Chain A
């Protein structure tokens, strides 16, 4: 069967092996990291007929990315280029792509479901290079019960790990179980730094064949989750086993030797990952993103009663010393989003004293110095979720926000489409 797309071209709508066209069209996949692996995964998602993706990445393309980047656009931001590339390759009618050029920690909560009830992704595909971001994504997906597909590669070695994070599967290990070294590991940082490192070394471990294969495996797992339609635990498990047999496993493959090992994840009693699950029944309300903390606290009195406090899911760095001059710089990012000490870029107040790092987890009207701060600078953005504690009630509150209102929507020019 063929159908006419909105631009008049004809797209084949035959049923692809094992795929349900309706499930594909309704699929919403978040891809975090738009490097070699992320792009190859997006290409697979696009050609397979996935309807909606969200791409998050802070970097721009470097010349050295060319050898494994199907959506390469010299010097341009990766998130936008890949989101637009998805639209160009997409076979789904009315495909949509959204993007955010920045760290996933800035928009993280929204990836797990916004206030419209439509934003919740079927899976988050983690294709990031930073251990800090990987641990954050693992925690985020666990909290909100979103399936996580994590992939990586190094030369011909490929690894794919899949966890459902389904709230009913209480004994399912988290992605971080058994990976204690990650908590001590340093992050490599941005792509531009990595590009400089590889240029200096004259060697890059990233090759297209591995990126393509790892991306395809990750995409297939994400598509599998988009096919699951089940409420009860038993039926979910049955469909999970049928549609995403890699779930609960790590698969290692060497592209050149053909050696592969499939390993079942084990729950780690000493896991340092966050196993907390935040289910919908813990929510007590939603509020508009107000202009500052003082207004938010006032508004929260309606939700949870007098003297409300905001308890952040992830502590926020309020300010810390500038790495150039040592004076205090306002930061406003979750602890996990800070890759290095900030710089004031010459804008430090000359009177500000050098301070220690100011990290807050709890915000209340006792924090007089913060009441006028915009919520965004306290890491409270549209879609953010936090605990609200008042005299009457305790529960989770979400700041209203949806993917279409927070992320940029990709479009194609007339020539491209």
Chain B
């Protein structure tokens, strides 16, 4: 199915034809492999959110099971973890 990934750091999107069995974590790995995302370490992590439903796409859940449909936009979020001193 065709989906668009929205960048967490710029107003750009990446159109992609993805297998609906692709899981959330595999999608992030692919986006890093295609240099759409830079690898993050430490306090940050990427998360995927379906812009239409506002549902988080879990790392182990396939896009299909997460309710993603053809034409959906998937927001990539750079989530921060933890407070600072």
Interface residues of A (CB under 8 A from B): 33, 35-38, 59, 62, 64-65, 68, 127-131, 134, 151-154, 157-159, 177-182, 185, 191, 194-195, 204-206, 211, 214, 249-250, 252, 259, 261-266, 268, 270
Q: Which residue of B lies closest to A268 (CB)?
A: B58
User: Would you list 13 pairs from A and B whose C-beta atoms are within 8 A, ordered by A residue?
Assistant: A36-B84, A59-B85, A128-B82, A128-B83, A152-B43, A152-B83, A177-B58, A178-B58, A206-B84, A250-B79, A266-B57, A266-B61, A270-B60
Contact present for B77 and A261 (CB under 8 Å): yes
Contact present for A205 and B75 (CB under 8 Å): no
Q: How far is the CB of B77 from chain A (nearest CB, A)?
A: 5
Q: How far is the CB of A128 from chain B (nearest CB, A)?
A: 6
Measured between beta carbons, the chain B residues less than 8 angstroms from A129 are: 82-85
Question: Is B54 in contact with chain A by the CB < 8 A criterion?
Answer: yes
Measured between beta carbons, the chain A residues less than 8 angstroms from B81 are: 131, 134, 152, 154, 159, 182, 185
The 6 closest A-B pairs by CB, nearest first: A206-B84, A37-B83, A154-B80, A263-B49, A127-B83, A35-B85
Q: How far is the CA of A262 from the CA of B80 in the complex (A)?
A: 14
Measured between beta carbons, the chain A residues less than 8 angstroms from B12 are: none
Q: How far is the CA of A168 from the CA of B9 in the complex (A)?
A: 39
Known contacts A38-B83, A206-B85; 12 additional CB pairs below 8 A are A35-B83, A36-B85, A37-B83, A62-B85, A68-B84, A127-B83, A153-B83, A194-B85, A211-B84, A263-B77, A264-B56, A266-B61
Q: How far is the CB of B20 from chain A (nearest CB, A)?
A: 17
Measured between beta carbons, the chain A residues less than 8 angstroms from B56 are: 178, 250, 263-266
Contact present for B54 and A37 (CB under 8 Å): no
Q: How far is the CB of B5 from chain A (nearest CB, A)?
A: 13
Q: How far is the CA of A250 from the CA of B66 in the complex (A)?
A: 17
Partner of A159, one of B54, B55, B80: B80
Q: Which residue of B lies closest to A180 (CB)?
A: B59
Partner of B84, one of A37, A178, A182, A185: A37
- Size bin of chain B's contact surface: 20 to 34
Measured between beta carbons, the chain A residues less than 8 angstroms from B75 are: 261, 263
Q: How far is the CB of A125 from chain B (nearest CB, A)?
A: 10
Measured between beta carbons, the chain B residues less than 8 angstroms from A185 are: 81
Measured between beta carbons, the chain A residues less than 8 angstroms from B57 are: 266
Q: Which residue of A lies closest to B59 (CB)?
A: A180
Q: How far is the CB of A144 from chain B (nearest CB, A)?
A: 22
Q: Which residue of A lies closest to B11 (CB)?
A: A259
Measured between beta carbons, the chain A residues less than 8 angstroms from B26 are: none
Contact present for B84 and A205 (CB under 8 Å): yes
Question: Is B69 in contact with chain A by the CB < 8 A criterion?
Answer: no
Measured between beta carbons, the chain A residues less than 8 angstroms from B79 are: 159, 250, 252
Partner of B80, one of A152, A211, A266: A152
Q: Mark B50-80, 1 if CB is under 8 A from A, else 0.
A: 0001111111110000100000000101111
Measured between beta carbons, the chain B residues less than 8 angstroms from A180 are: 59-60
Measured between beta carbons, the chain B residues less than 8 angstroms from A65 are: 85
Q: Which residue of A lies closest to B79 (CB)?
A: A159
Q: How far is the CB of B34 from chain A (nearest CB, A)?
A: 21
Measured between beta carbons, the chain B residues less than 8 angstroms from A38 are: 83
Q: How far is the CA of A38 from the CA of B84 in the complex (A)?
A: 9
Partner of A154, one of B43, B60, B77: B43
With A264-B55, A268-B58, A268-B60 known to touch, is A36 a contact of B83 (CB < 8 Å)?
yes
Measured between beta carbons, the chain A residues less than 8 angstroms from B61 are: 266, 268
Question: Is B30 in contact with chain A by the CB < 8 A criterion?
Answer: no
Q: How far is the CA of A318 from the CA of B63 in the complex (A)?
A: 46
Q: Which residue of A lies closest to B7 (CB)?
A: A259
Q: How far is the CA of A259 from the CA of B84 in the complex (A)?
A: 21
Q: Which residue of A lies closest to B80 (CB)?
A: A154
Measured between beta carbons, the chain B residues less than 8 angstroms from A204 are: 84
